[in-house]
Amino acid sequence: MLIKRPSDIRSSEITSESHYLSRRKFMQAFAGAAAVAAGGSVLSSCADAQSPPLPRQAAALPGRSLDFVAAQPASSDNGFSTSEKLTPYEAVTSHNNFYEFGTDKRDPKRYAGELQTDPWSVAIEGEADNTGTFFLEDLLKNQPLEERIYRLRCVEAWSMVIPWVGFSLSSLIKRAQPNSSARYVVFETLYRPEQMRGQRSRFNTLDWPYVEGLTMAEAMHPLTMIATGLYGKSLPVQNGAPLRLVVPWKYGFKSIKSIVKIKFVKSRPSTSWNVSAPREYGFFANVNPTVDHPRWSQASERRLPTSLFDSKRIATLPFNGYAEQVANLYTGMDLKRYF
Amino acid sequence: MLNRQRKLTKIALLLLALTPLALMIDAAIGQALGPDPAEALADQTGEWALRLLCACLAITPLRILTGKVEWLRYRRMLGLLAFFYACLHLGVYWVFILRLQWADFFYEFAQRPYIAAGMVALLLLVPLAITSTKKWQKKLGRQWPKLHRLVYLAAALALTHVWWQTRGDYTEALIYTLILLALGMIRYRRKSWFK
């Protein structure tokens, strides 16, 4: 279904998180009831939940409306959802680390408008059978989208809870058909200094383009996600439009934004922050409260938004609370050494 | 008449220097500091402390370059304002970020050298603020300028505080460093001319 954006949006029409949440709860209940009525399986209930009738107000959030399967209640242990309070849309889209636009948290939103994200294509390269450069539309064609509510833990000791929309990276990898030599996946962000002012700075410690990487096992894990939206809408540029990685058990800098290249390689890639300051940023960068960063203690985090009188400090959990799902990826590994 | 003009200039300068604080308070009340207000306040107070310290250290070079002693009248006020913002900076960190926890404070101080550098810079400014009055100036006589040379050390430590926590982009740290170096060079060259 297609929801047209009203030409004039009053701020009162913009969806609040509570509205969004209650709407989602309603949709889930509706999907469940439909499934029962039809005597159908879980699968059919998912199908019923597709094309959710987003309220008119949700259409007022910036961006294109997406069709997706709403997140299920956080009852299952797959980690795809959480009952924690969502970080408001405004905070999610105005407090960003995206150094391509500047180092201030407000810079990405401020300068996002300078970047043209349409048309967009992604190069798939390396040790795979189905390589080539693909238009974003072709890449996303027939790719069902689903909502996942993940915690996002920044290495700077703050965190958010974000309703992403996207799909498991594994489904894209399967289509690329990597061969047996592929042991790591490397991702690259767009390099376009004329539209990304942070890339024009002469005194940057990061080499552009920004590069991140995962082991094949990490990339194939069902929690590892390619997001194309949040809060039911297409991604704002400051959050990594049009497509980004989300790896919820790792520090945020691993979740690379505005991806233009995905490459399958044999050996461990050099990744941007790791190259810039290897003592501070490891390749794995799994959230770990027992390994302090030289600049920030990682034992606790501040759940945004904070206020002056409540710093919302909470304990940081190993693997950002996803240990049950991902700890087995690292069995036998010294996590203090391979931080 | 001239006296009155000087007073007005001073008041105008004071109001100008307090404007950032007024804007911060206004933003704090209006909840316009973003999703991490304590961090935003700490950043802004720190930046203004450093800017005012640069302004204070620009007085002597301005006097040298223009040959006008008049500039010296504003030096004390600028120095005290820098000190004031530095105290606010520590206060915000201590109250809103560390939430008055001594244990956290000692931990941060010991673990993070940039915090220690900033703290020492502020501590060095304390005796300078105390002895900034005319009374102390007279009392200390020739010792006064010697004591107040500590401001260079404080500035160097403040820069260290900035450099150490910079990641990603050094442009801003570099600008402050170049400004302070330029100001230092003007003084130094002046001295060597007299030799």
CB contact under 8 A, A306 and B168: no
A134 & A265 share domain: yes
- Let me know whether A145 and A202 are in one domain: yes
Using pLDDT thresholds of 50, 70 and 90, give the confidence band for residue B108: confident
Look at residue A72 in the predicted model and tell me its pLDDT.
82
Q: Decide: pTM greater than 0.90.
A: no
CB B94 within 8 A of CB B105: yes
Task: Report chain A residues whose CB lies below 8 A from the CB of B41.
Answer: 308
The Cα of A197 is separated from the nearest Cα of chain B by a number of Å equal to 12
- Residue with more model confidence, B111 or A167: A167
Q: Which residues of B touch A297 (CB under 8 A)?
A: 107-108, 111
Residue B5 sits at the chain A interface (C-beta within 8 Å): no
CB contact under 8 A, B38 and A277: no
Report the percentage of chain B scoring pLDDT > 70: 96
Which of B43, B45, B80 lies closest to B59, judged by CA?
Answer: B80
Identify whether residues A21 and A132 lie together within a single domain.
no
Do residue A29 and residue A109 come from a single domain? no
- CB contact under 8 Å between B112 and A99, yes or no, is no
Is A44:A32 a contact under the CB 8 Å cutoff?
no
Q: Are residues A145 and A251 in the same domain?
A: yes
Predicted pLDDT at A296: 82
Can you give the residue range of the structural domain that contains A254? 67-278
Backbone angles phi, psi at A91, to 5 degrees: -70, -40
User: What is the reported pLDDT for A4?
Assistant: 44
The minimum CA-CA distance between A283 and chain B, rounded to whole Å, is: 17
Provide the pLDDT for residue A95: 97
Q: pLDDT at position A41, please?
A: 39
In a domain, A251, yes or no: yes
Contact A99 B168 (CB under 8 A): yes
- Which residues of chain A have a CB within 8 Å of the CB of B170? 203-205
From A263, A278, A293, give the residue that closes a domain: A278
Beta bridge partners of A315: A300
User: Residue range B94-122: average pLDDT?
Assistant: 90
In a domain, A303, yes or no: no
State the pLDDT at residue A169.
Answer: 98
Would you list the domain boundaries of chain B? Answer: 38-194
Given this model, what pLDDT does residue A9 score?
A: 47
The shortest C-alpha distance from A306 to chain B (Å) reads 5
Backbone angles phi, psi at A258, to 5 degrees: 40, 65
Q: Can you give the pLDDT at residue A102?
A: 94
Q: Along the 339 residues of chain A, how does pLDDT read in single tens digits?
A: 444 444 444 444 455 565 565 555 545 544 444 444 443 333 333 333 433 434 435 667 888 999 999 988 766 688 999 999 999 999 999 999 999 999 999 999 999 999 999 999 999 999 999 999 999 999 999 999 999 999 999 999 999 999 999 999 999 999 999 999 999 999 999 999 999 999 999 888 899 999 999 999 999 999 999 999 999 999 999 999 999 999 999 999 999 999 999 999 999 999 999 999 998 999 999 999 999 888 888 999 999 999 999 989 999 999 999 999 999 999 999 999 889
- pLDDT, residue A47, reads 38
A120, A53: one domain: no
CA distance A204 to chain B (A): 4
Residue A6 lies in a domain: no
Q: Which chain B residue lies closest to A95 (C-alpha atoms)?
A: B35
Q: Which amino acid does the sequence have at B46?
A: G
Q: Per the structure, how many domains does chain A have? A: 2
Cβ of B70 under 8 Å from any chain A Cβ?
Answer: no
pLDDT for residue A59? 63
Mutate to test the interface with B, among A17, A103, A274 (most CBs of B within 10 A): A103
pLDDT, residue A35, reads 42
Q: Which amino acid is at A329?
A: L
Q: Which residues of B are less than 8 Å from A305 in CB distance?
A: 34-36
Write down the pLDDT at residue A75. Answer: 64
User: Which residues touch B22 (CB under 8 Å, ≥6 apart)?
Assistant: none
- Hey, is the C-beta of B141 within 8 angstroms of any chain A C-beta? no
What is the least distance, in Å, from the CA of B63 to any CA of chain A? 33
Chain A CB contacts of B36 under 8 Å are 95, 105, 158, 302, 304-306
End-to-end Cα separation, chain A, in angstroms: 45
Q: Domain check: are A245 and A156 in the same one?
A: yes
Q: Which DSSP state fits A233?
A: E
Cis status, amide bond into A144, omega within 30 of 0 = no
Q: Is B168 on the interface with A (CB under 8 A)?
A: yes
What pLDDT shows up at residue A18? 59
Whether residue A105 and residue B96 make contact (CB cut-off 8 A), yes or no, is: no
Q: Pick from B36, B99, B114: which is nearest to A304 by CB? A: B36
Do B17 and B52 touch, CB atoms closer than 8 A? yes
Specify whether the CB–CB gap between A273 and A281 falls below 8 A. Answer: yes
Asked if B111 lies within 8 A of A297 by C-beta distance, the reply is yes
User: The tokens 């390994």 sit on which residue?
Assistant: A291
Q: Quick one: A75 and A157 in the same domain?
A: yes
pLDDT, one tens digit per residue, over B73-82 is 999 999 999 9
* Structural domain includes residue A260: yes
CA angle, A234 then A252 then A327, to 5°: 115
Asked whether residue A152 is domain-assigned, the answer is yes
Are both A187 and A39 inside the same structural domain? no
A99 & A248 share domain: yes
ipTM higher than the 0.95 cut: no
- Please determine, for residue B20, whether its predicted confidence score (pLDDT) is greater than 70: yes
Residue A204 lies in a domain: yes
Q: What is the mean pLDDT of residues B109-136?
A: 94
Q: Count of residues for chain B?
A: 195
In a domain, A126, yes or no: yes
**Is B169 within 8 Å of A201 when comparing Cβ atoms?**
yes
Same domain for A35 and A100?
Answer: no
Q: What CATH number corresponds to the domain at position A71?
A: 3.90.420.10
Tokens of B172: 């801003």
Chain A positions touching B169 (Cβ under 8 A) are 99, 102-103, 198, 201, 203-205
**Shortest Cα distance, chain B CAs vs residue A167, angstroms:** 28
Q: Whose structure tokens read 């300028």?
A: B145
Please check whether residue B135 touches A, CB under 8 A. no
- In this structure, are A137 and A250 located in the same domain? yes
Q: Is pLDDT above 80 for B52? A: yes
pLDDT at residue A76, rounded to an integer: 63
